[in-house]
Amino acid sequence: AQSVAQPEDQVNVAEGNPLTVKCTYSVSGNPYLFWYVQYPNRGLQFLLKYITGDNLVKGSYGFEAEFNKSQTSFHLKKPSALVSDSALYFCAVRDMGTGANNLFFGTGTRLTVIP
């Protein structure tokens, strides 16, 4: 079975500093990994995905993620945090068992960027 873990419920970072939101995964077969962001009272917005290829994936709003097969991790990063990046971030993995669009989401990490 597929699963993802987000070990940190909350991450605080000062504006202008680099940020990292951690995600580890467990899959049988090739991993298909995603990051989504959720702002208050809104749905989820797609940030980036890893299917295959380069281990460093670039996405929307200056975010990138590093795929590490040996550590089974897919951490989200940004070189310089903005206050507007404050939101709830979800890591997700494709669940191959129950449907093409079945993404198994982690429990989320709340990012707060402090001015």
Give me the residues that bind other proteins (CB under 8 A), please. Answer: 32, 34, 36, 41-46, 49, 51, 90, 92, 94-95, 98-108
Which residue, among 53, 50, 58, 56, has the nearest Cα to 91 in the 3D structure? 50
Shortest CB 45 distance to other proteins, Å: 7
Which residue, among 64, 109, 105, has the nearest Cα to 88 in the 3D structure? 109
Of 19 and 34, which has the nearer Cβ to other proteins?
34
Shortest CB 98 distance to other proteins, Å: 5
Q: For residue 85, give the DSSP letter.
A: G
**Matching residue, tokens 């699963």:** 3
| Cβ atoms 34, 15 nearer than 8 A | no
Of 15 and 22, which has the nearer Cβ to other proteins?
22
- Which region, left, alpha or beta, applies to residue 60 given φ > 0 means left and ψ of -120 to 50 means alpha? beta
Determine the residue type at 48: L
Shortest CB 79 distance to other proteins, Å: 23
Shortest CB 17 distance to other proteins, Å: 26
